[in-house]
Amino acid sequence: MRAYNFMGVSLTALMLGLSQAHAAATVNCAPTAAASGPATVPAGTTMFTCGLIAAGVAQTYPAQSVTLPAFTLTGNVVAPTAFSISTPANGATETGSFVVTGVAGSNWTNIAAFDASWNKLDSTDVSPSKSNGAFSLNIDQLSTLATGSNTVHISAFSASTNAPGQPWAGTENDLSLAFNYQPGGGGVNGACGSANGVATSTKPTTGLCSAGTATAVSGTGPWTWSCNGSGSGGSNAACNAPLQTSGGQPVGNPAPGHTWTSTFDDEFTNESSLDTSKWACGPLGFVENNIPANGMSCSNVSFSGGYLQLSLPSASSGAQICSSDNSGDCPTLPSSGHSLKQGEFVEFKAYFPANGSGQIYNWSGVWVSGNPWPAGGEYDIAEVGAGALTTTYHNSSGSIGGNSGIAGNWGNAWHTFGFWRAANQGGTSYVYYDGVQVASYTANDTGVGQALLATNGYSTGSICNCGGPVLTGPSGNVNLAYVRAWRY
């Protein structure tokens, strides 16, 4: 309790004066509730109530009130019923005995600790400081705790209203604190979160770790990361998320409310060579500008980092893969290759290299084509023209589109390029970039199945305004993460 001055006379002097006026009595003064908060107290407020009790006489004297003029309370004054925990933070890790600190008001005389089953966790209860209410409680009885998550109850008790020797009766206030108990100084083991093992078409960003600290996510599908433990002996956990394969949906799901069924799928994540049951490569059935048919070599198809690479080693040597011979451009017929039927959807996830101005290199693209050409129809889903990505539909009536590039920056990053073929002659076919429709065409071809193709070649511009700046070598590679097809 603080000493207060009023009218130039200290409370202590007042108490002494009362004692002198009643020599046979003691003076008991207690603060009222108004004395408990840091605030300006209005004039006329009763701050202390003093009762006179005659020594050795069982008689109650009327309480005497002392009224102070207006003054301001200063300092760290704690409300009588205040009770809070300062440290440790909720969820902290403890390896042995630890201390809980906090503040408790004058209403509380004892602070104790219990586990979730109300077993005692401290060997010695403490009382809050009379000057500022602070308390420091040592949690040292830990035999009932389990390794891992625990709850400690910090309880404040008032003085008992019963006579000494009788069972305690009074007021109790309980606060709960969660903590991770790792006895013996053991560390916290890292643990993978809900994203671990779940196939996805995009890099996971949430649910990485349920314990420990997540590292950066690496890869392009599958994706990998670690959940690093902490402390002495804490272990790390290796986590991964595979690339979503068949059973997934096209990016952007162009037919909401419908479920797509996989008809073809090649995820290049775990492959070291081309799956020739699905694809053919090598010499073509046509000459791509100044690259001869035999210049499209299987040696320019490789795998690295979980994706397929189509390289252009020189101006006369490129790479192309195709899924069937329906286009007339495949040298062989893959045993399990796929021809895109009417009503089906195909999606390529591809990386096209570009220069600092955003111009995409070489004459590369992803496309579908039917045989015979052009009656069977050719849809250039994403084809480089004048350094930009274009989309064009070729049929017996001519070429539609392809005069200008699709708005956006499509180089030096992974993107999805989708094509939904019309279900019938005269229907509408749609082209999608990253799930957004960028073009549509009225189908006008024979309706035969169309081969799936991906190309990295070279153009001099003598045949068409095709291609972009030339870049040979690894930096000019076109990369594929997957090719998928569906129907619904």
- How is the chain split into domains, by residue range? 5-72, 83-161+169-185, 191-241, 261-487
pLDDT digits (tens, 9 = 90+) for 278-291: 998 876 544 454 56
Percent with pLDDT over 90 in the chain: 43
Place of tokens 């102070």: 68
Token couple for 254: 């162009």
- What pLDDT, on a 0 to 100 scale, did the predictor assign at position 232? 61
What are the DSSP calls for 96-113, one per residue?
A: S-EEEEEEE-TT--EEEE
Token couple for 414: 């992974």
Confidence of residue 466 (pLDDT cuts 50, 70, 90): confident
**Mean pLDDT across 257-262:** 82
CA proximity to 352, closest of 304, 323, 389: 389
Confidence of residue 184 (pLDDT cuts 50, 70, 90): low
pLDDT at 356 over 50: yes
**Mean pLDDT across 247-272:** 82
CA proximity to 100, closest of 70, 126, 65: 126
Confidence of residue 292 (pLDDT cuts 50, 70, 90): low
- What pLDDT, on a 0 to 100 scale, did the predictor assign at position 481? 92
pLDDT at 337 over 60: yes
- What pLDDT, on a 0 to 100 scale, did the predictor assign at position 162? 86
pLDDT digits (tens, 9 = 90+) for 104-158: 988 899 999 999 999 999 999 999 988 888 999 999 998 899 888 899 999 999 9
Confidence of residue 267 (pLDDT cuts 50, 70, 90): confident
Chosen CATH of 261-487 out of 1.10.3210.10, 1.10.150.20, 1.20.58.220, 2.60.120.200? 2.60.120.200
Place of tokens 């586990």: 115
Lowest mean pLDDT among 38-42, 83-87, 160-164, 332-336: 38-42
pLDDT at 328 over 60: no
Higher pLDDT, 329 or 95: 95
Topology alike, domains 83-161+169-185 and 261-487: no
Q: Which amino acid is at 70?
A: A
Number of H helices, E strands in the chain: 1, 35
Contact 346, 453 (CB under 8 A): no
**Mean pLDDT across 403-415:** 90
Q: Name the phi and psi angles at 199, rounded to 5.
A: -65, 140
- What pLDDT, on a 0 to 100 scale, did the predictor assign at position 403? 67
152-157-163 Cα angle (round to 5)? 145
CA proximity to 486, closest of 199, 243, 307, 258: 258
- What pLDDT, on a 0 to 100 scale, did the predictor assign at position 96? 83
Q: Which CATH architecture has domain 83-161+169-185?
A: Sandwich (2.60)
pLDDT digits (tens, 9 = 90+) for 231-241: 666 778 999 88
Other CB atoms within 10 A of residue 292 CB:
13
